[in-house]
Structure 1
Amino acid sequence: MDAKTYTAALGELRVLRDDIKKAQAALARLEAERDKKITALAESEKAKAERIAPAAGLSLAKVVALVPALAPATLAAEPAHTAPEQPAPVTAPAPAQAPEETEEDEIPGALAPALTPRIATAPEQQPTLEPAPTPAPTPAPAPAITERERTLPSIPEGPEGDSWFTHTPNLASTHPNFTQQARSTVFLDAATGTLVHRDRTLQLALGHGSVGEILTAVFHAVPEGVERIYITAGDPWHRDTDRHPYLKDAVAAWLNAPAPGWRTDTGRGKDRLAGHFVHPRNPVGRYQRDNSEQHVEIRSAGEWFDTTNATPAIVRDAFVLLWTTLRAHWPDAVIMGSPSQTGRDLWTRTIPERGQYADGYPVLSEELRGLLHATAGQGRTELITPPRVPDQLPALVEYDRTFAYAKHTWKSGVGTPRRITATTFATWSEKDQTKALFGCGHWHVRVTVPTGWNHVGILPAPAPGDRAWHYPSTPGTTFTTWAGGPEIYTALANPIQPWKIEILDGLLFDDGKPLDDWSKKLKEAWSRLAAQAQLHGDPAQRTAAHLASRAVRAILLYGIGSFTQRPRMVTGTTPRTMERDVPTDAEIIAFDHDHITWQRPSGFARDPYAHPEWASGIWSGARAALLSQRMRADNTFVGALHTPPGSVVAFRTDALYLTTPQNWPHHNQPGDYLNKGHLTGPIPAPTTEEDLLALRDAGRAALTRNREQA
């Protein structure tokens, strides 16, 4: 770019800046006018928040916050609960106990010294594991959020809290008594119009790529009908993004646009997946033909793997490879619409039909599920900025844990948990305390960062914001949190210095293996496909095998996330002419001249496969392994706490970003650290996630070039 072009671009940027300021000012004026009208309406005797909210495009809660006098009686009488997040999706996500990840039911000897106060160290450096002198107060069973901090819930004292330790009556995960039915599927590149159906490749004219045009073209090309259309490229739901303020608005408008001959699928029988799922990147459109029982859904293949540069034929081959590989372990395996649906369906087919849990795995009480949802975070995401790292990094090296969550599924908590109060814990012997913390548990603890600590934080603490977490590392900091056994173990027996842990309360399960058979089969499928991706002689088939192996990873990852069964967020669309039908507790997320799109929390469904205790244990094990993990075959330890202080730049779920390369072994096994990027410095330390991702991509490209030249 020459100087003239650069100067001109700066001028254009200033114009955009001014336009943005004007638009923001205009928006502020409109919002002020809206609030003024709401306040004026509130003076009417007929004023009702449930009527004003949809008219204003606000949630009921926001209208009540503006005019408290409009609060309905039910809202005024009950405490408000923060709406939990959706699973992009968790998201998300059985514990691997202790950094060494032993799969035997043994207690490592390394833990005993960490719990013994006879170590000759300064008092503030002695590991302390003790009951809290005063039980924690009893808040509501949902996290309270303020502008400054977020307080996690605790278990009520006495009989009220004890009553939580049960299961939901007549609700258990049981082996299915039916055969899952496959759906006729096609693969469509919405950018080029290339359609693949079985062994045929067709070319379609899609016009502007609207829902109606896609359905018309597909059903004309495949008159016998299809039930699922995977979009492999083109993202047609993003074509009008410039006409909407937010990406989600554009997606909702695309899903709800008129499709002659079709209407939104309202569900069949007990199908809870009726209606569209509005997601900014991987939405799901569900449609039913007028005056017919013909149903079809439009989905993104990106739910399963990255389809960049993959033709529809290669994506089709990847799904065929995935299906045939899974069939080697599950003769009745069926590829469902999403990895999470497929993962959970395959898991149900590993539930034992004989033995202790022949009647199924019972579902925890709603109170305990709510507690786990509020207190068990997912993957660790943290960017460490100067002065905790140098302003100029000597390098940025990325280490990514291979198929990480598969490492942490060999043991999970089963049965009705026991409540372990501070008093109960104090009466136990050191051996029993150690065994409990090494078991399948979820602990309410008070934590103190030891004096002289100069490395990254170990335990998650609640941060401002809905379900946000941070990792305190400043010496002397004390905080109260919940954590799983693997993280507690790491805090007590880390290679640097033990932390002070006070037990306030806890849930302790019996050890079981409800996910082990399922996970082993998926790991075997992944290994087989990964080998094909390396050894197949046909480049297209190598790509298909690689994508299929990524799909297996997604099945396990999102299958674990599906166990969390968070209180669901339901989306819906209502015609503007029927505005009164918008649910009173709904939040308006988009609207146009014809439709209002809304979302609302629907609470806990009676889902027989809800096991947040398993997902929380796996997440805890994975976070602990980012800090310290034993490579038994190599008799060495790896992880952030085995690097020099100040060398950790970031954590991203199952990846570490460091300033120095590490000689960590990699055997292509689940949990191994794989070097995926290496960017040589000096490099300005990233201060935003965007900076980090840009450096990550540059580091991966640089490492690939170096390996090709070697």
Structure 2
Amino acid sequence: MESQQYKAGLAELRGLRDEIKKAQAALRKLEGRRDRKITEVAGYPKAKPDQIAPAAGRSVRDIVELAPHLAPETSSTSESAAPASKPAVRPAVEVSGAAAPEMAPIAAHQPPAATVPEQDTETTNERDADAEQPPAAPVDQAPAAPAAEPAADTRPDVAPRELPVIPDGPEGDRWFSVAPNLSSQRPTFTQQSRPTVFLDAKTGDLLFGNQRVRLDLGGASAGEILTAVFAYAPDTTERIFITAGAPWHRDADRYPYLKDAVGAWLEAPTPDGWKVESSRGKDTLAGHFLHERNPVGRWERGKQHVEIRSVSEWFDPDGSDVATIRHAFVLLGQALKRIWPDLVIMGSPSQTGRDLWQRTLPTKQGARWADGYPVMSDEIRQLLHATSGQGRTELITPPRVPDQLPALYELDRTLAYGKHTWTSGVGAPERVTAQKFASWSEKQQSDVLFKPGHWRVRVTIPDDWNHVGILPFAVEGERAWIYPHEGGRTFTTWAGGAEINLALRNPVQPWRIEILDGLLWESGTPLKEWSEKLKKAWAELATAAQVAGDDELRTAYRLASRAVRSILLYGIGGFAQRPTITTGSVQLGQENQIPKGARIKTIDGQTVIWERTQMRRNPNAHPEWSAGVWSAARAALLSTSVKGTDGQKTHVGALHLPAGSIVAIRTDALYTTVQPNWPYNGDPGDYLLKGIVPNPSTAPLTENDFYTLQSLGRAYLEEQQDTASANL
């Protein structure tokens, strides 16, 4: 076989791999629809498992597992194994909802004027924030495009995903409590800094202290990196930041999935006594963290401990030299230390953000929450995790937009999440049932919809609605949430208070909302001081970048400002604690040995597989805060206001643009065929023009198509700005 044939074969294999992944996703979707239909027909009073099984192409045992009531002999054991308190997905018994009140609209919809706002090229785009680690790719650069596939749309035929409901009566009321002896408190210790070196895995350049050497990394395995680095760096080094090269992707072509390649790199044998770290300190995670693009490898050798991780967790290095990146971290530390004298920059922005937030907690005796912010019950935290999405990602295709786009403009909200931290829900929530909501006056109803809340609602879209959707709807598949827009459609969902408020007050036409159930919190400011301090540091660094005298210093300041943004972004995401899932097995007939709170997952022959979802006792678990910020940011993407230079408010957002002009939505960015005349002051929440495709183009039908247009638009605008700067 010739080299060209080998390369062609690899390309064909990658194509087959992608097709298999699509087929597997489609199969999972069909299996989900089948299982839901089994559960539905099993509700028939005379249903029999031996009749359903051949029709579904499954065994009688499978049918009984999905519908335990069809097997009287084992139903008692199945019920005893069901979670007693977990917010299980159960068929919702629809009740009459309480109609939300009419509310004054935000502003009349006005088509925008097409002018170009003044640019600030140093402001960066927001990106999705997950609990502990950054997403697969930063949004301020086009992520690695996924395999071409039709973009998910808000079609009525997308398979819905069942969401949890709160049980009726005392069982559900018991959820509305706080976890005993668990609260967020100010730390009584100072973090210990870790000696860090910076390594460019492409060039082999290693920077430690004031020394720079060029290493031979060989194949850049973990073992080769550890050996090469510690041939020069002090043995006290505890962190190796990779600035370029992503060595964990070196064998990506050999594996069907990128995560498999990363796992193989992390688990490969290491020489000279190194082994995977097993334990270290009460506040330190041991072992590797497997992530497709930003993994963390942790090793130990005797009393020596070290971790290898990517600076891409903090910002996109964008080809910067290893010395520039180290300088950015120095500038970051200086800016934050002026605000937090006991600052220690930790391994990730999420960890750093959590630590800095803890150091803003009240300690004055008698102050509200001086004893710490209580953590909610496991059940409510699991409910929020299951019913709260994060960033809105949507590609809108013809016929909702023209086949030929006249132009495309990218508008990005600067430091968007920082705009929505001024108030949050604190303490144990109050339950607001439909009956309780209906008993209140219209003023009381309106007031609570402005407070921190999370609501289960029945939504009816106006018959003649012709704009983008407002409220999320859960669906099967990777997309997880879509935004229905079809006029006259009715659906049931969970949504944050900010989005419910917007649906009732939006500038186009109010939606009909019926309250079915809800959580209502006391308003507090647990994130305000922390957020304000971070925004101050961000503004200082961003301003310094604009006036820096040389390119290296300007880049270092810009990267440092992006790192502050990541601390804020991932710090907020860090409050959204994810539940842990454990599994185990017992022999058939020994179901009484299944742990409390577990459920039977499958029965394979004589073996019963169980699964249990649990929430760790984390004193900083506050999904109500992250969910509230995300909800407010999604609502503001559709409608918010910004002050102009004259001090007057201008209403901005997708719903203030013409219907049919929105091509895509990405967390905090809009892509539209018209260019609005929206003020830009460089403040958090302002919309910045980030890209322009000035000529007609074919509307994107896939994610690949979209990212191609996004890249073209950013390149065109950058070229225009460079030309303008050269002419000054």
Q: Same fold (TM over 0.5)?
A: yes
Is the counterpart of residue 350 in structure 1 residue 331 in structure 2?
A: no
2:104 counterpart letter in structure 1? P
Q: Which of the residues 662, 680, 692 maps onto 2:676?
A: 662
Q: Contact between 1:567 and 1:601, CA under 8 Å: does it hold in 2?
A: no
| Cα deviation code 1:37-80 (max 9, x no counterpart) | xxxxxxxxxxxxxxxxxxxxxxxxxxx979989x9999896459
Q: Contact between 1:564 and 1:610, CA under 8 Å: does it hold in 2?
A: yes
Alignment length (residue pairs): 586
Alpha-carbon distance in structure 1 between the residues aligned to 2:16 and 2:576: 41
Alpha-carbon distance in structure 2 between the residues aligned to 1:407 and 1:569: 34
- 1:566 deviates by 0.8
Q: Which of the residues 682, 686, 690 maps onto 2:704?
A: 690
Is the counterpart of residue 208 in structure 1 residue 204 in structure 2?
A: no
| Cα deviation code 1:258-286 (max 9, x no counterpart) | 11110000112435611111111101000
Is the counterpart of residue 433 in structure 1 residue 429 in structure 2?
A: no
Alpha-carbon distance in structure 1 between the residues aligned to 2:358 and 2:77: 39
Partner residue, 2:307: 297
Partner residue, 1:127: none
Partner residue, 1:16: 12
Q: Which of the residues 189, 192, 199 maps onto 1:181?
A: 192
1:694 counterpart letter in structure 2? T
Alpha-carbon distance in structure 2 between the residues aligned to 1:604 and 1:504: 26
Partner residue, 2:319: 309
* Partner-residue secondary structure (3-state), 2:374: strand
- What are the within-5 Å matches in structure 2 for residues 207-356 of structure 1? 207-260=218-271, 261-271=273-283, 273-289=285-301, 292-354=302-364, 355-356=367-368
Q: Which of the residues 152, 160, 174 maps onto 1:149?
A: 160
Alpha-carbon distance in structure 2 between the residues aligned to 1:256 and 1:331: 39
- 1:705 deviates by 1.5
* Partner-residue secondary structure (3-state), 2:696: strand
- What are the within-5 Å matches in structure 2 for residues 258-657 of structure 1? 258-260=269-271, 261-271=273-283, 273-289=285-301, 292-354=302-364, 355-465=367-477, 468-568=480-580, 603-632=614-643, 633-657=647-671
2:196 counterpart letter in structure 1? T
Q: Which deviates more, 454-463 or 216-225? A: 216-225
- 1:603 deviates by 2.9
Q: Contact between 2:103 and 2:504, CA under 8 Å: does it hold in 1?
A: no
* Partner-residue secondary structure (3-state), 1:486: helix
- 1:293 deviates by 1.4
In structure 2, relative to structure 1, the CA distance for the partners of 1:255 and 1:601 (3 Å cut) is farther
1:653 counterpart letter in structure 2? T
Alpha-carbon distance in structure 2 between the residues aligned to 1:19 and 1:218: 38
- 1:514 deviates by 0.4
TM-score (norm 1): 0.77
Over aligned residue pairs, what C-alpha RMSD do you find? 3.4
Partner residue, 1:674: 688
- 1:12 deviates by 5.9
Alpha-carbon distance in structure 1 between the residues aligned to 2:336 and 2:18: 57
- 1:16 deviates by 3.4
In structure 2, relative to structure 1, the CA distance for the partners of 1:185 and 1:495 (3 Å cut) is same
Partner residue, 1:169: 180
Q: Contact between 1:391 and 1:685, CA under 8 Å: does it hold in 2?
A: yes
- 1:464 deviates by 2.2
* Partner-residue secondary structure (3-state), 1:295: strand
Alpha-carbon distance in structure 2 between the residues aligned to 1:162 and 1:216: 58
TM-score (norm 2): 0.75
Q: Contact between 2:158 and 2:475, CA under 8 Å: does it hold in 1?
A: no
| Cα deviation code 1:340-371 (max 9, x no counterpart) | 00000100000000201111000000010011
* Partner-residue secondary structure (3-state), 1:176: coil
In structure 2, relative to structure 1, the CA distance for the partners of 1:24 and 1:306 (3 Å cut) is closer
* Partner-residue secondary structure (3-state), 1:286: strand
Q: Contact between 1:226 and 1:296, CA under 8 Å: does it hold in 2?
A: yes
Q: Contact between 1:111 and 1:489, CA under 8 Å: does it hold in 2?
A: no
2:563 counterpart letter in structure 1? A
Alpha-carbon distance in structure 2 between the residues aligned to 1:687 and 1:75: 46
Q: Contact between 1:377 and 1:467, CA under 8 Å: does it hold in 2?
A: no
Alpha-carbon distance in structure 1 between the residues aligned to 2:289 and 2:656: 43
Q: Contact between 1:147 and 1:465, CA under 8 Å: does it hold in 2?
A: no
Alpha-carbon distance in structure 1 between the residues aligned to 2:622 and 2:392: 21
| Cα deviation code 1:422-474 (max 9, x no counterpart) | 11111111111111000111111110000211100011111223671111111
In structure 2, relative to structure 1, the CA distance for the partners of 1:223 and 1:113 (3 Å cut) is closer
| Cα deviation code 1:482-537 (max 9, x no counterpart) | 11121111111111111101011111111110000000000000000001111111
Alpha-carbon distance in structure 2 between the residues aligned to 1:467 and 1:561: 19
Q: Contact between 2:691 and 2:714, CA under 8 Å: does it hold in 1?
A: yes
* Partner-residue secondary structure (3-state), 2:12: helix
* Partner-residue secondary structure (3-state), 2:564: helix
Partner residue, 2:139: none
Partner residue, 1:194: 205
- 1:19 deviates by 9.4
In structure 2, relative to structure 1, the CA distance for the partners of 1:22 and 1:225 (3 Å cut) is closer
In structure 2, relative to structure 1, the CA distance for the partners of 1:466 and 1:362 (3 Å cut) is farther
Q: Contact between 2:162 and 2:474, CA under 8 Å: does it hold in 1?
A: yes
Alpha-carbon distance in structure 1 between the residues aligned to 2:159 and 2:20: 26
- 1:245 deviates by 1.6
- 1:312 deviates by 1.1
1:655 counterpart letter in structure 2? A
1:333 counterpart letter in structure 2? L
Alpha-carbon distance in structure 1 between the residues aligned to 2:318 and 2:342: 31
1:660 counterpart letter in structure 2? V
* Partner-residue secondary structure (3-state), 2:536: helix
Q: Contact between 1:219 and 1:225, CA under 8 Å: does it hold in 2?
A: no
Percent identity, aligned pairs only? 58
In structure 2, relative to structure 1, the CA distance for the partners of 1:569 and 1:659 (3 Å cut) is farther
1:237 counterpart letter in structure 2? W
Alpha-carbon distance in structure 1 between the residues aligned to 2:709 and 2:18: 34
1:518 counterpart letter in structure 2? W
In structure 2, relative to structure 1, the CA distance for the partners of 1:402 and 1:76 (3 Å cut) is same
| Cα deviation code 1:204-228 (max 9, x no counterpart) | 1211111111111111101343000
Q: Contact between 1:374 and 1:467, CA under 8 Å: does it hold in 2?
A: no
Alpha-carbon distance in structure 1 between the residues aligned to 2:241 and 2:520: 43
1:628 counterpart letter in structure 2? S
1:654 counterpart letter in structure 2? D
Alpha-carbon distance in structure 2 between the residues aligned to 1:356 and 1:627: 34
Partner residue, 2:41: none
1:257 counterpart letter in structure 2? A
Q: Contact between 1:634 and 1:665, CA under 8 Å: does it hold in 2?
A: no
- 1:328 deviates by 0.9
Q: Contact between 2:350 and 2:571, CA under 8 Å: does it hold in 1?
A: yes
